[in-house]
Amino acid sequence: MKMLTTSLVAAATLAATAMLAPGTTATASSLGVAPRVAGTGGAMVQGAVVDQRGRHVDDVEVRAVDLTTGDVVASDLSYASPDNDIAHGYFALRVRSGSYEVTFSKPGYDTETVVVDRARREKAGIGEVELTKRPVASDTDARAPRRVELGDKVRVSVRVSAAGDPATPSGSVVLTAGRRVVERGQLRDNGTVVLDLGRLGRGDYTFVASYAGNDLLKGSSSARVPVEVYKPRRRH
């Protein structure tokens, strides 16, 4: 829980977060469904929600609970607010004078709580509230030619993806043959990498590509990739 002691006469407003004037009506985006400032009262608690990479997050449920009574006095969803030059993630709650516990929750994210103390009849900007997005499952796909002629280079193409998640996979990939690490590489911006194993000796090989994951994606491993390096027969 984050504690924020703020007087609404001298609001601790971060520069990145613009303010609505009292009585201003906010416009809803196609993602956030928040047609107006939520709640009642003469004070306003407002800010923006971002994830751990600083990306603004819409459709976060924002709830203000009166610390004296325990009642939920205002709730809203974060949304885009063109009136305040905030592309996404904006929220605004009207409350009466008092102290409040403001919670931020959305499926797939850790819930965050901020305490706003000594609210009065003005505006309180609590700036950017960071919600940590939980890592989601990734999928690693590795491919290589089934047969490679002796003397030619063996290359394994790896692609990492995450179904339904806009995050581009980033980080490292390790290629193993049994327990032996044969190559490493960093994913490009499109989530792919080509691992060049050079010229291998004649024989059968089985490779597995493993993605380490990052703060938004869990690690994953590919299916086994068989490769035969063969020596062509001489023609008489």
Tell me: pLDDT of 20 over 90.
no
Q: What CATH number does the domain located at 2-130 have? A: 2.60.40.1120
The pLDDT score that the predictor gives to residue 3 is: 47
Q: Which two tokens stand for residue 81?
A: 């607010």
3-state helix, strand, coil split of the chain in percent (to 5) is 0, 50, 45
Residue ranges, comma separated, of all CATH 2.60.40.1120 domains in the chain are 2-130
Distances (CA, A) of 39 to 62, 89, 131, 197: 11, 18, 23, 62
Distance between CA atoms of residues 57 and 36, nearest Å: 18
Under the banding of pLDDT at 50, 70 and 90, the label for residue 84 is low
CB 206: neighbour CB atoms within 10 A? Answer: 11
Distances (CA, A) of 131 to 55, 72, 107, 171, 177: 10, 21, 11, 22, 39
Which homologous superfamily is 139-230 in? Immunoglobulins (2.60.40.10)
The pTM assigned to this predicted structure is 0.65
What percent of the chain stands above pLDDT 70? 74
Distance between CA atoms of residues 117 and 107, nearest Å: 27
Mean pLDDT across 56-60 = 93
Q: Rounded mean pLDDT of the chain?
A: 80
- Closest residue by Cα to residue 45 from 115, 131, 130: 115
Return the ∠ at Cα 56 (arms to 125 and 122), rounded to 5°.
15
Task: Concatenate the DSSP letters of all residues of 137-194 into one string.
Answer: --EEEEE--SEEETTSEEEEEEEEE-TT--PPP-SEEEEEETTEEEEEEE--TTSEEE
Highest-confidence segment of 21-30, 86-95, 96-105: 96-105
- Closest residue by Cα to residue 53 from 108, 136, 131, 169: 131
Greater confidence (56 vs 10) lies with 56
Greater confidence (64 vs 118) lies with 64
Tell me: pLDDT of 195 over 50.
yes
What are the beta bridge partners of residue 199? 153
Under the banding of pLDDT at 50, 70 and 90, the label for residue 173 is very high
